[in-house]
Structure 1
Amino acid sequence: MSWDGGVSALRAAVVWLMDVSSVPILVYFFLINSSLLLLIVLAYLEFRAQERRRATALSWQGAGLAPGVSLLVPAYNEEVGIVTAVKSFLTLRYPRHEVVVIDDGSTDRTFARLDEAFDLVRVPRELPREVPIRAQVFDTYVPRDGRTRLVVVRKENSGRSEAINVGINAASEPLIAIIDGDSILEPDGLLHVTRPFADDPTRMVATGGAIRPVNGSRVVSGRIVRVEMPQTWIPRIQLVEYLRAFLLGRTGWSKLGGLILISGAFGLFRRDVVVEVGGLDPDSIGEDFELVMRIHKHLRDEGRDYRIEFVPEPVCWTEVPVTATVLRNQRRRWHRGLWETLWAYRSMLFRPRYGRIGSLALPYYWLFELVAPLLELFGIVIVPLALLLGVVDVPFALLFLALAYGYAVLVTLSAMVVDEWAFHKHDRWRAISQTIGASILENIGYRQATVWWRLEGWWASLRGRKQVWGVMTRTGFDEDAA
């Protein structure tokens, strides 16, 4: 085939593709951005309602209503910040809580640092096996003083999920909080996320805490003393992602009664319910999503009345990736976990038994979370190609850019405005201008890269490739900039 013939064939193919897909693509991007905007509006309404209750929000703990909490901290090679993190967890303003650190076979000085800081002694304690585990548990340690509510369990390396399951077996309180060792909790964080359990103790089974990037902020002794913007653009763009999707998006879903995802960085669960469903799945790479879905399915199948809510108070701060390599591994893992969990629970789709979970939340995640990168990649390739070949006019291309990217920037800016109104975390115009800049730059290169990375994760799962977590480099918290 000649060059001219090849170009003609390509043009004909692109013309056909544009004929059948142009309108659906435009409608799709309009709907996905409009749905995000709707969730932001719902979040705003929820924030307004909470503002009226905020004056008395923390008064209940003095009446003896605060349920006990076991903070489960899986740790693998966390020597850089584990002592600071544990000390900050122990000193949270909460009437009754313990910290359970599960050393998942660390090869660095994670345990040595804990031993030095808390003068640990081994205790002859046989952990119960309420949640099945495969790995060998070596020893259990507590501080010599007999007063510090810290338990350190050492086990062979078998992954984060099994480490948490060991922590569930070791926990002694009715609520368990799963938190990463690289995270920082607000001093009143537990008071906020346990409040729904005190308000509705019989029905509440899980709450998700809001997560914010800590990068760039000033941290002293495990406490945020000044919130600052990250120093580089990759974490800055992740900050606006967290605002839009993790804070406002999940607040909106919670208000709709369709929350199906609680971040693995910080979530609170009733221990008896987690034991009832068998703990975390060690074979799932999206273990946080899978656990919440399993709880929904189990309780709905049994016809039990229950609630799962998101708490929008900024309670937990975590490091986010600062390099493209680490970010790529994270996004591949997230999308693979999304696909595998949605596929595992596909039987819940459109089943009346599962209420809004099956009729609203799951279809949304299939259409606007799972399939989004595939359709966006198609648009990224086909529209410029059609423009280059002269088979689409400039006004259509501009309309595509407006709906796919211009509308997305508007949605992100709306999220930023609502967040500033509700929490006012950034008090400098420079920080606000950087957030605006990040919301624009997100759509120039960053978003296209994450589209490809997410598809890589999906493709790896479809091919049955081995699950790999990757490595997240930590800088620690006792720095001026984390």
Structure 2
Amino acid sequence: MDYLLKQMLIHPFVYLILFYVLIIVFTYTIMLLFSLYTLWKDHQLDKVNLYEELNDIQFSKPVSILVPAYNEQQNILDTVQSLLCINYPEYEIIIINDGSKDKTLDVLIKNFKMKKIEKVVCKQITTNPIRAIYQSTINKKIVLVDKENGGKADALNCGINVSKYPYFCSIDGDCILDTNSLLRVMEPIIQSDDVIATGGSVKIANGSDIQMGSIMSVGFSKKPLVVMQVIEYFRAFLMGRIAFSKSNMVLIISGAFSVFSKKYVIDAGGYLRNTIGEDMELVVRLHRLTREKKEKKKIVFVPDPVCWTEAPETVQTLRKQRSRWHQGLMESLWKNRQMMLNPKYGRIGMIAFPYYLIIECVGPIVELGGYIYVIYAFFTGKVYFEFAVLLLLLFILYGTLFSMLSIILEGWTMKSYPKIKDLLNLLILSFTEVLWYKPLTLLFRLEGLMNYLTRKSSWGDMTRKGLDRKVGKVE
């Protein structure tokens, strides 16, 4: 009797999990095919001539680069140095010190010989008060804004108010750009007025040789936790975002490296304060507002512009990051929930929203149930043991196989990691993802879900170790 009762209870649950995992495998397969086709086409382009054409000041559009910084004394100099080395005809660099408690402000003033200036600021978006504005005496394109702490969204809004150009690029304070990254990410905007925002790939710099803000040689951290994040980033950027961008369904472009039309962002009210995922929420809101105005605007992801960033090296720091990301995803979808399955918003409402809700948001609950069931079935061996084996194989399929294919795509198209042995190490480590890394991040995503449901803030200081570099000590 007990055995029959277990069958009755577990039977629909098992089929639900199997159906869910099959949907994921099917979705990822479609994404992979789209990405493969897009990367193949892009691989055929003559990028040398393309960069020369885009770099012509007659055709390019000036950009304000916004760098919000809170307690970034370890990385901020490398970030600014990398921005000074980029290949782009006309831009300004606006660093927004958001009330840092460390020496971020002092480091910038000292190293770039900043002097206070009087500057008229048009307050198109309300922000916390500005304490002072500085300009570098050795490079006039560098402006430093010192303001009262208000969070990243408030700092970016302040930078938008101070900026003078029609487009702005947001860069995290711990990021480093490749020389042609801004040129390439601006290409869709330069070529079409219909594009109002673009984003580029983000890659992990831990273990690389960084000198004066430039990646001299790409390397890997010796920590498996960091290397697994490298694999995860490949899968997210080379599969998911390329596929969604193909149909103008991108809901996430990384806040670490993205470009926006200032006019449309101001019309939308800027970045929302007191929001965990301010970058995603802005993208979703721009989609919503342009469709409500019946404007055929696009938000594009460009795979090859690369922004290098520091990845968490401890489980605790990774936990804070992933919990916050998932909570931000939930907030963004809820704030724009009228778009869900609404034909008025086209493919965004009918495809992108259901995908992010069912697979990304609710997915951790179903996946956790799957892991619990597999463990239970293997230990008892009585209830649907065959289903447990099939479920485990499907977990390995979408957890490992797609990671491996993303690594192969990276090696073929991006070539950021030129050493064959590095790619082989990634392939070998990807076999272990489903055994430890995926369950670990699954728990962190569940925590983010619980934080959202209980309205608990997941903000907290993200410990920065500082990227490996060969420069003098920051004073």
1:101-136 CA-partner distances (Å, limit 9, x unpaired) = 000111221111111112111112232111121x22
Q: 2:57 & 2:45 partners in 1: Cα distance? A: 17
Q: 1:139 & 1:353 partners in 2: Cα distance? A: 45
Contact 2:197 / 2:259 at 8 angstroms: preserved in 1? yes
Residue aligning to 1:450: 441
Query: Structure 1 residue 181 and structure 2 residue 173: aligned?
Result: yes
Residue aligning to 2:133: 140
Residue aligning to 2:80: 86
Structure 1 counterpart of 2:209, from 188, 212, 218 = 218
Partner SS, residue 70 of structure 1? strand
Contact 1:326 / 1:470 at 8 angstroms: preserved in 2? no
Superposed counterparts of 1:455-470, under 5 Å: 455-470=446-461
1:412-471 CA-partner distances (Å, limit 9, x unpaired) = 111111221112222323212211122122111211111111111111121122342332
Residue aligning to 1:255: 246
Structure 2 counterpart of 1:159, from 142, 151, 157 = 151
- Identify the range of structure 1 (437-446 vs 181-190) with the bigger mean alpha-carbon deviation: 437-446
Q: CA deviation at 1:408?
A: 2.5
Structure 1 pair 381/79, CA: closer, same or farther in 2 (3 Å)? same
Query: Structure 1 residue 23 and structure 2 residue 24: aligned?
Result: no
Query: Structure 1 residue 408 and structure 2 residue 402: aligned?
Result: no
Superposed counterparts of 1:1-400, under 5 Å: 14-55=6-47, 56-60=49-53, 61-62=55-56, 64-133=58-127, 135-145=128-138, 147-200=139-192, 202-400=193-391
Equivalent residue letter for 1:138: R
Unaligned residue ranges in structure 1 (runs of 5+): 1-7
Equivalent residue letter for 2:129: Q
Equivalent residue letter for 1:91: C
Contact 1:331 / 1:453 at 8 angstroms: preserved in 2? yes
Partner SS, residue 168 of structure 2? strand
Partner SS, residue 71 of structure 1? strand
Aligned length: 469
Q: CA deviation at 1:12?
A: 5.7
1:381-419 CA-partner distances (Å, limit 9, x unpaired) = 123223433432443221111111234211111111122
TM-score (norm. length: structure 2): 0.95
Partner SS, residue 143 of structure 2? strand
Contact 1:238 / 1:320 at 8 angstroms: preserved in 2? yes
Structure 1 pair 21/120, CA: closer, same or farther in 2 (3 Å)? same
Unaligned residue ranges in structure 2 (runs of 5+): none
Q: 1:305 & 1:195 partners in 2: Cα distance? A: 18
Structure 1 pair 315/400, CA: closer, same or farther in 2 (3 Å)? same
Residue aligning to 2:427: 436
Equivalent residue letter for 2:42: Q
Equivalent residue letter for 1:141: Y
- Identify the range of structure 1 (339-348 vs 383-392) with the bigger mean alpha-carbon deviation: 383-392
Q: 2:331 & 2:255 partners in 1: Cα distance? A: 16
Partner SS, residue 410 of structure 2? helix
Q: CA deviation at 1:301?
A: 0.5
Q: CA deviation at 1:256?
A: 2.2
Equivalent residue letter for 2:85: T
Q: CA deviation at 1:33?
A: 2.2
Provide the alpha-carbon RMSD of the alignment: 1.7
TM-score (norm. length: structure 1): 0.94
Q: CA deviation at 1:477?
A: 4.9
Q: 2:119 & 2:45 partners in 1: Cα distance? A: 44
Q: 1:15 & 1:470 partners in 2: Cα distance? A: 47
Q: 1:88 & 1:418 partners in 2: Cα distance? A: 27
Q: 1:478 & 1:155 partners in 2: Cα distance? A: 29
Q: 1:181 & 1:14 partners in 2: Cα distance? A: 54
Q: CA deviation at 1:63?
A: 5.6
Partner SS, residue 176 of structure 1? strand
Q: CA deviation at 1:220?
A: 1.3
Structure 1 pair 185/239, CA: closer, same or farther in 2 (3 Å)? same
Contact 2:32 / 2:239 at 8 angstroms: preserved in 1? yes
Equivalent residue letter for 2:303: P
Residue aligning to 1:420: 411
Q: 2:359 & 2:470 partners in 1: Cα distance? A: 39
Equivalent residue letter for 2:391: F
Residue aligning to 1:4: none
Q: 1:84 & 1:421 partners in 2: Cα distance? A: 29
- Identify the range of structure 1 (207-216 vs 392-401) with the bigger mean alpha-carbon deviation: 392-401
Structure 1 pair 226/14, CA: closer, same or farther in 2 (3 Å)? farther
Contact 2:374 / 2:392 at 8 angstroms: preserved in 1? no
Structure 1 pair 448/121, CA: closer, same or farther in 2 (3 Å)? same
Residue aligning to 1:5: none
1:233-282 CA-partner distances (Å, limit 9, x unpaired) = 00110011100012321011101221111111111001111111111011
Q: 1:12 & 1:182 partners in 2: Cα distance? A: 57
Equivalent residue letter for 2:284: M
